[in-house]
Amino acid sequence: MLLAIMSDSHDNIWNMRKAVSIIREQRAAQIIHCGDFVAPFMLKELEQAQIPVHGVFGNNDGDKYLLMKLSIVELQNITIYGQTGAIAAGGIRIGFAHERIKADGLLFQGGYDLVCFGHTHAFMTESIHRTTLLNPGEIMGKDGEPGFVFYETDSGDIERIRLS
C-alpha cells in the first residue's frame, strides 16, 4: 500500500495543491499529516485527494476547534487525532505526532513499524529497534526544499517527493 506522509504545510495552498495532484496521480491509498495545517482551509485542500487523511495538531495550528469541527461535520475523508495518532495500514502499525518528543514516546512505547513526526521542517529517517522513524520535511518551503514522502508498506521503501 502506498502512503503519502507530509507535515508543516503552514497555509501554503499552492504547494499543497501540487502535493495533492501528485498523490492522486500516484494513487496513494492514504495521507498522514504530521501537523501544522494552520488554517482550516488547508483541510479542504487535503479533502481534494479523495482518500483518507489522518492528521494531528501541530504547535502552529490556530483554531483547533474549527479544524476539528470542519473535519467532523463538513469533510468526508479527514480525521484529526489530537496530539498523537495511530493507524494500521497495509499490514503495518503507524504512529504519528508533530514534535519529536511525542514521536519518541510512541517509538519507545513499542508496537509500531513506522513512527512519523514533523516540526523541524527537515527530512530525516532512521531505524531504531526495528521501527522506522521518519520526518517527511515540510510542504511549506520556508526552511528547505518543500516536499513530502511516499512510503510503501510492503517494502518499507521511502521516496522523497520534491515540490519545487
CA separation for the pair 140, 127 (Å, rounded): 26
Whether residue 36 contacts residue 98, with contact meaning beta carbons closer than 8 Å, is answered with yes
Indicate the average pLDDT of the chain. 97
Q: What is the pLDDT of residues 89-103, one digit of tens each?
A: 999 999 999 999 999
pLDDT at residue number 92: 98
Helices and strands (DSSP H and E) totals, the chain: 4, 11
Q: What is the pLDDT of residues 126-156, one digit of tens each?
A: 999 899 999 999 999 998 899 999 999 999 9
Provide CB contacts within 8 A for 14, sequence distance 6+. none
Residue 164 has pLDDT above 90, yes or no: no
pLDDT at residue number 86: 98
Q: What is the pLDDT of residues 111-121, one digit of tens each?
A: 999 999 999 99
Unique residue bearing C-alpha cell 511549506: 140
Q: Which amino acid is at 85?
A: G
- Structural domains of the chain, with CATH: 13-141 (3.60.21.10)
Question: pLDDT tier at 159 (50, 70, 90 boundaries)?
Answer: very high
